[in-house]
Each structure stands twice: as C-alpha cells, then as structure tokens.
Amino acid sequence: MIEVENVTKEFGSVTALKGVSFRVERGQAVGLLGPNGAGKTTIMRVLTCFFPPSTGVAKVCGMDVIRHSLDIRRRTGYFLESAPLYVTMSVSDFLFFVCGVKGVKRSHRKNEVSEAIELCGLQHVGNRLIGNLSKGYKQRVGLAQALINQPQVLILDEPTIGLDPEQVFGIRKLIKVLAGERTILLSSHILSEVSMLCNKIIVVNKGRTIAEDTSKNLNTILQGNILTKVQIEGVPRLVIRELEKVKGIFKVSTHEKRADNILEYLIESDKSLDFCKALCEIAFSNNWILRGVQTLKLSLEEIFLKLMAQEEKKN
Amino acid sequence: MKSCSIMKREIVQYFSAPYFYVLMTIFLVLSGYFFYTDTVLFNLMNFRGTTSLTRGLWAYYFNDLRFVFILIMPLITMRVFAEEKKLGTTIELITTYPLKDIEILTGKVLACLVVFVFMLSLSFINVIIIGIIWDFGEIASVMSGYLCIFFLGFALISCGVFVSSLTDNQIVASLGTMGLFTLFWFLTWNEMIVSEEGLKILKRLSLFDRTFDFFRGIINSKDVVYFMLFSFYFLFLSLQSLGSRSWKGMK
C-alpha cells in the first residue's frame, strides 16, 4: 500500500531524508518512531504529496507521488501535527467544507459528516466554533477531517500529542477501531503507544531508516542474552551452584527474597538454550519447587535507545 | 464544484472578520467624500447647464474611485495566501486535499471578486441620487465607468493575489501590492525624461492610463484585452508560485 524506496529530500543545504526505504502492506498499522528532527513529518509530507522527494520513489496505493498526486490525495486522509484548522468555522461547517473539497456527493455529505462526528466523539460540539474548542477537541476535529470520504490510507502525525490521558485513551481507541479497515501510518514519540497500536515499527534517525520490523522481532534481534526471573523454593547456595553447572546459563544472581525459603533469582542464559526445559529438568532432579518464571523482554524504550546507540557507533 | 466550496469559505471568512467592516467603512467614507466634492465641482462648472454629466461629474468620480481601490485592494488581497501560510499551516491542509492548484486559485480569486463587487455596488447609491435629482439619461456612460472599475479591480486582485502567494506575512503582502500598484500608476508620470517612443510604450503598459476612454463612455476593445491579459498574466504567475512546492528541491 505504501512503498518508499531510497527517498531523499533536500531543503537547500539541509538533507532531511537520506535514502529512506520501507513498505507498509494493506491493512497494517505501522508506527514511525524517531527523535525530534529525524524526518518523520518530512516522510509524511512526501507521502501526502505536499512536496515531492528530491530523489527516490514513493508510492501510495501503487501510484507514484509525483505523477499521480491528485489520485493519491483522493485516497489518503492526513492528520497534521498541531492540527491546523479554520478556527472561524464551526465544526460541522468545516466538515461540510471538507466534504466539498474532497468531492463527496451532495446527497452523501450529511451522512459522512454525522459518521465522522460520531466516530470522533464530537456530538456535543458540532455547532461550536473550532477556535473556541480545547486542544483535545481540536485534535478530534483534525482526525474527523482526515476520515471524511473513507480514505484507504490514513497518515497520522503525532495524533495524541499534548492531550490529557482521557483524550489520549479516546484517540487510541479510535485508531484501534480504524486499524484493520484501513492502512495506517502513524508517527509518535510515545513508544508504548506505538507498541500498543502498531503491527510494525519503523525507526528513523537523522533522515535514515535504522530498523523496520515488529516489536517482537526487534526485541529478539537486539536483546542479546535472555534474562529470566525465577522464584525457587530451595537452599539458595545449592540452587545457584546447580544452575551455574547447566551449559548455556552464564550467570545466576539473587534478586529478591519473596518468603522464608523462596528467593527470586535473575538468570542470564544463551538465546539458543531451551531455558524452560533445562529449568524444569534441574528443578525436578533437585526437588525444588518453582513458584514463578518470567522472561524479561526489552522495553520499546530500551530497543529504541539500543538502536540509536548502534547508529551512533556506526557513524 | 470544488472551487465553489473554497469560494464560499473565503467569503464567509471575509464577512466574519471585523477588519473587513472597517475597510468597507473607509471605502464608503472616501467614495462618498469624492462624490460630494466632484458634485460640488460639477455644480460650479455647470453654470450655464452646458456640461454633460459624463464629462463633468462621472469622469472625475470614477477617476477618484481608482485611487480608493489602490488603497483598499491590497488590504483585501493580502490575506488570500499569506494568512493560510501563517495560520498554523492550513496551506498544508488545503494542498493535501484532492484539489488542483487552479481550483484553489479560482475559488480564492472569485471570493475576492465577489467581495469587491459587493463593495462597489454600495457606491451605486450615488448614481441613484444623481438620477433622482438630475436624470438617468447618461446611464450608459455610468455603466461603462463601472465596467472599467470592475476590470481594473480584477487586474488589481490578480496582482494582489500573486504578491500574497509569495509571502507568509500579510503586512509584507499588502505593502508589496501597494508598491506594485503605485509603480503601474506612476509609470507614465515622468514624460520629460522619457523619449517620445519610450513614452508610447509606457502608456501602453500603464494600467491607469487605459481608463480614460471608459470614463467618457467609450468601451475600447484594446483596453478590455489589455485588462484581461494583465489579469491572467498575474493569475498565471500566482499558479506558478502555488505550484512551486511541487518542483522545488527536485533533482
């Protein structure tokens, strides 16, 4: 649905994008992650045909952004960061205006506007001037205008920035409803949000894609050794000695005391070891009671920071 | 039509902005003042009832109306694109909708024309007053004068829209437009320093020198063609300015 191949974008002497490449398949919800100035908004502006790439190919719905700009804009809904809107118009007037410019037939406009208002929770503010709305409601109006005319592709630039927790929850719920029906490309600084809403993550830094994969796969690639927390009822000295004998277990340390004879251990083991099987075998042979097993995964923040660090090392 | 949606939105924007009513007041005060002074002058000149309304009153009145629009028009056109570029990037919003640049431009220019014609129509009260006091006998030359003002207004709007498309600052847009208008106005003033041939060329290029025949009730086709070419030239430049984002930075 979205194909970006070696796209660069230059603004005079400044190169905002340096050979970005990624793909988004139909129905996917993909998160674009990156620090400030990474090039996320520039990528989105290229895909929404606000300006063309300097070099490279960008396609949306199989159409080139330079040659088929109008067709792409008919199929795309774009939510801009900071939601620029016509503040002297009322919410419903603005949405009717959007219907007009997006070419919605007159007979369908009322339905389109009602649907967008309902989806975005704007029922109580339909007749109010946009300029008098809170930031959260303005963002919802921004989202509503992106949904007019049922676009196949939704491009959302920081849709939850600056909102209170209740509003953030509402917008996320809406995005979850829309994902699957449409193809969504969403950028955010909030890593947990991207992890929650998106099938795939694209990490961008200084105008380059540095990773493109699911959160799970990125975790597997970057994690290195596996860390596991295990609660064992047994003599601590013996537990540590027996575990360290197992081939593939590198380090065992005590983490926390849970009860009289129950300690929590932090075990570092090789990725190739079937840790659970090895643990069960050794626990059975030593008559230990296993009270809990938890594999520690890298948080998305840790994945992101590791990727940034790797990129810095390369440069 | 998509241009109609843009036009409607722009018209509503004008009529909901307080500055527009201030502008209308200024226009009515100035045009009313000029009408009053030109009527008093006509009265004095028409001592034996030999001066026609067209030559004695309407020619002077429309002449003065041109200067009012040199002042007013930049303030109407300054916000056309400059405001969109400044207003938290609504220019990005509107250019990522499935709209052709020409549709955006047409909608905005039509809105300016509607607003301009509305303002101009308010001055028609002066014609009605003279018609009641005197007569409507020379109404054809009055219509010719209004037609000229309409063509002039269209030309000034095109020029103003082009300057507005070049900047995101409304003050810069209005001053730039006013500067351009003044240049076109002053073009033929320095007759002494220009050769006869040079003066002929400048007179052909001068926007304001083409209005005299209209004010005398003569509609000259070459003047109509000039106004149209002038207007469409600046509209073409506006289109190029709007479309420049599609090719800037491309290799």
Least confident of A202-206, B115-119, B159-163, B176-180: A202-206
Residue B56's pLDDT is: 79
Q: Which amino acid is at B237?
A: L
* Domain boundaries defined on chain A: 2-213, 224-296
Contact B155, B231 (CB under 8 A): yes
- Alpha carbon A48 to chain centroid, angstroms: 19
A291: pLDDT strictly greater than 80:
yes
Nearest CB partner across the interface for B88, out of A51, A53, A82: A82
The predicted model gives A59-64 an average pLDDT of 92
Q: Which amino acid is at A241?
A: R
Predicted TM-score of the model (pTM): 0.81
| pLDDT one-digit tens code per residue, B108-167 | 999 999 999 999 999 999 888 888 887 777 788 888 999 999 999 999 999 999 999 999
Least confident of A100-104, A221-225, A248-252: A221-225
Contact A48, A56 (CB under 8 A): no
Residue B192's pLDDT is: 59
pLDDT bucket at B189, cuts 50 / 70 / 90? low
Q: Report in angstroms the alpha-carbon separations of A6 from A51, B65, B245.
A: 16, 58, 21
Flag if B98 and A10 touch (Cβ within 8 Å).
Answer: no
The predicted model gives A46-55 an average pLDDT of 91
Residue B152's pLDDT is: 92
pLDDT bucket at B238, cuts 50 / 70 / 90? very high
Contact A55, A7 (CB under 8 A): yes
Flag if A101 and B6 touch (Cβ within 8 Å).
Answer: yes
The predicted model gives B221-228 an average pLDDT of 90
Q: Which of A51, A68, A89, A148 to mutate to test the interface with B (most CBs of B within 10 A)?
A: A51
A38: pLDDT strictly greater than 80:
yes
* A102 interaction partners in chain B (CB closer than 8 Å): 97-98
Report the C-alpha gap between B177 and B175 in whole angstroms. Answer: 5
Measured between CA atoms, the residue of chain A closest to residue B99 is A101
Flag if B98 and A55 touch (Cβ within 8 Å).
Answer: no
* B89 interaction partners in chain A (CB closer than 8 Å): 80, 82, 84
A59: pLDDT strictly greater than 70:
yes
Nearest CB partner across the interface for A11, out of B13, B16, B249: B249
Flag if B96 and A50 touch (Cβ within 8 Å).
Answer: yes
Map tokens 């159409």 to a residue.
A63
| Residue A298 CB coordination number (10 Å) | 19
Starting at the earlier edge strand, list the strands of the sheet with A29-33: A76-79, A153-157, A183-188, A29-33, A200-205, A208-213
The predicted model gives A228-240 an average pLDDT of 85
| pLDDT one-digit tens code per residue, B28-80 | 999 999 999 998 888 887 755 666 777 778 888 998 998 899 899 999 999 99
| pLDDT one-digit tens code per residue, A164-179 | 787 778 878 888 888 7
Judged on CB neighbours under 10 Å (0-12, 13-18, 19+), B87 is middle
Report the C-alpha gap between A239 and A263 in whole angstroms. Answer: 10
**CA-CA-CA-CA dihedral for B111, B117, B123, B128, to nearest 10:** -140
Nearest CB partner across the interface for A55, out of B17, B97, B251: B251
Tell me how long chain B is.
251
Sequence-separated contacts (24+) of B127-135 with Cβ below 8 Å: B130/B39, B130/B53, B130/B57, B134/B53
Contact A64, A57 (CB under 8 A): yes
- Report whether CATH 3.30.450.20 matches the domain A224-296: no
Exposure of B117 in the CB half-sphere (CA atoms within 13 A) = 11
CA distance A15 to chain B (A): 10
Contact A186, A198 (CB under 8 A): yes
Q: How big, in percent rounded to 5, are the helix, strand and coil portions of chain B?
A: 80, 0, 20
Flag if A50 and B248 touch (Cβ within 8 Å).
Answer: no
Average pLDDT over chain A, rounded to an integer: 85
Percent of chain B with pLDDT over 90: 47
Least Cα distance to B234 among B170, B177, B183, B168 occurs for B177
| Residue B170 CB coordination number (10 Å) | 20
pLDDT bucket at B213, cuts 50 / 70 / 90? confident
CA distance A182 to chain B (A): 18
The predicted model gives B164-186 an average pLDDT of 89
Report the C-alpha gap between A56 and A53 in whole angstroms. Answer: 7
Flag if B249 and A100 touch (Cβ within 8 Å).
Answer: no
| H-helix or E-strand spanning residue A47 | helix A40-47
Residue A169's pLDDT is: 81
The predicted model gives B226-233 an average pLDDT of 93
pLDDT bucket at A299, cuts 50 / 70 / 90? low
| H-helix or E-strand spanning residue A20 | strand A14-24
ipTM: 0.84
Contact residues for A55 (Cβ-Cβ < 8 A; gap 6+) = A6, A7, A8, B251
Q: How big, in percent rounded to 5, are the helix, strand and coil portions of chain A?
A: 40, 30, 30
- Report whether CATH 3.40.50.300 matches the domain A2-213: yes
The predicted model gives A286-306 an average pLDDT of 76
Query: B61 or A310: whose pLDDT is higher?
Result: B61
Residue B57's pLDDT is: 85
Reduced to 3 states, what is the DSSP secondary structure of residue A227? strand
Residue B208's pLDDT is: 79
CA distance B233 to chain A (A): 25
Exposure of A205 in the CB half-sphere (CA atoms within 13 A) = 15
Least Cα distance to B230 among B171, B190, B181, B174 occurs for B181
Query: A293 or B54: whose pLDDT is higher?
Result: A293
B93: pLDDT strictly greater than 60:
yes
Report the C-alpha gap between A175 and A192 in whole angstroms. Answer: 14
The predicted model gives A247-257 an average pLDDT of 80
Flag if B89 and A98 touch (Cβ within 8 Å).
Answer: no
Measured between CA atoms, the residue of chain A closest to residue B16 is A88
Q: Report in angstroms the alpha-carbon separations of A227 from A219, A245, A296, B11, B86.
A: 12, 17, 5, 65, 52
